[in-house]
Chains A and B, each alone.
Chain A
Amino acid sequence: MVMDWWYGLLGGGLIGLSATLLLAFNGRIAGISGMVNGAITFARAESWRWIFLVGMLGGGALYEYGLAPSPTPTYGLTPVTMVIAGLLVGFGTRMGNGCTSGHGVCGLGRLSVRSLAAVISFMVAGFVTVFITRHVLGL
């Protein structure tokens, strides 16, 4: 368990470094929902976002198949659950202009009040949701 915390700090540090490089060199915010929303316009000016997404897959593969201390488990949450979760995340992040990376990692780093409000909102909503699914509904 404590080892997980150290890996969490390491992973968080790498994410912070990633966001630092992208802002310092290219002037861009490493917000992943925005990355996806830009990429799927397939506009030429947004094509760089696909490079970032491919890089993410490369980094994930490098971790999982090269560096991971143990394989990452996968779970059998039902397909319907995943679709409902995905719809809410897609709709909500577009409406709220960001997710854990854009509002969390980058927004808090910029001391943005909007991002702080968003982080509080999605954290509280997440806590309440899991309380309901795990402890009220017993899923």
Chain B
Amino acid sequence: MKFQQHLVTLISGLLFGLGLGYAQMIDPEKVIGFLDLFGAWDPTLAFVMGGAVAVTLVTFRFILKRPYPILGGKFYVPTRQDIDRPLILGAALFGIGWGIGGYCPGPAITALVLGSLNPVLFLVAMVVGSLAYKALGDRTPPVAPAPENRPS
């Protein structure tokens, strides 16, 4: 069971990287070209996101009707519905960094295979930024005893 799960994880990762390659999202210029609405707009990213969501919209409906995943265990799916400040502000900060560097996390990782320094610098800074927020977040005292299974 465990081995099968790891095999699925590996294949899934492989398809993800392959997809980002074909989609040319590992080329920051394609991403910035999409975000540049007032320049020579490049709609490729819309096709990538559209293609991916077209698949998940259909498949997730069927998958999440199941009581548990095919290889057992349970579904680790976020349950929160509230739209709070950290969600909107965090996403906006992410969007600013995305527009500056042309990388989001997936493409930056996959672009490591290109052998240039930029994805490395980006990823090191990304991990530092993430740990910085975690450290800040951990400093604020919890209002109530934290619920045990907070969705990740």
- Residue numbers of A with Cβ under 8 A of B are 1, 4-30, 32-38, 40, 48, 51-65, 67-68, 72-75, 77, 79, 81-101, 103-114, 117-119, 121-131, 133-135
Q: Is the interface of A mostly helix, strand, loop or mixed?
A: helix
A37 and B124 CA atoms in complex are apart in Å by 12
A107 and B45 CA atoms in complex are apart in Å by 17
Q: 8 Å CB contacts to A: which residues of B93-138?
A: 93-106, 108-114, 116-118, 121-134, 137
Q: 0/1 per residue, B62-95, Cβ < 8 Å to A?
A: 0110001111011111101111001111111111
Q: Are B51 and A32 in contact (CB under 8 A)?
A: no
Which residues on A sit within 8 Å (CB–CB) of B146? none
Give me 18 other A-B pairs in contact (C-beta within 8 A), A32-B109, A87-B125, A109-B53 excluded.
A11-B23, A11-B24, A14-B22, A36-B127, A48-B9, A54-B13, A64-B113, A75-B28, A81-B101, A86-B124, A86-B128, A89-B105, A97-B78, A109-B55, A121-B92, A129-B98, A131-B36, A135-B38
Q: Are B95 and A125 in contact (CB under 8 A)?
A: yes
**A15 contact from B20, B27, B97, B124, Cβ within 8 A:** B20
A13 and B53 CA atoms in complex are apart in Å by 8
11 contacts between A and B (CB under 8 A): A5-B44, A8-B22, A15-B19, A29-B76, A30-B16, A83-B124, A86-B125, A90-B132, A95-B90, A125-B94, A129-B99
A92 and B88 CA atoms in complex are apart in Å by 9
Which residues on A sit within 8 Å (CB–CB) of B96? 88, 92, 125-126, 129
In whole Å, how far is B133's beta carbon from the nearest beta carbon of chain A?
4
In whole Å, how far is B125's beta carbon from the nearest beta carbon of chain A?
3
**How many B residues, CB 8 Å from partner?**
113
**B118 contact from A7, A15, A75, Cβ within 8 A:** A75
In whole Å, how far is B32's beta carbon from the nearest beta carbon of chain A?
6
Given contacts A26-B71, A74-B116, A85-B101, contact A55 B10 (CB under 8 A): yes
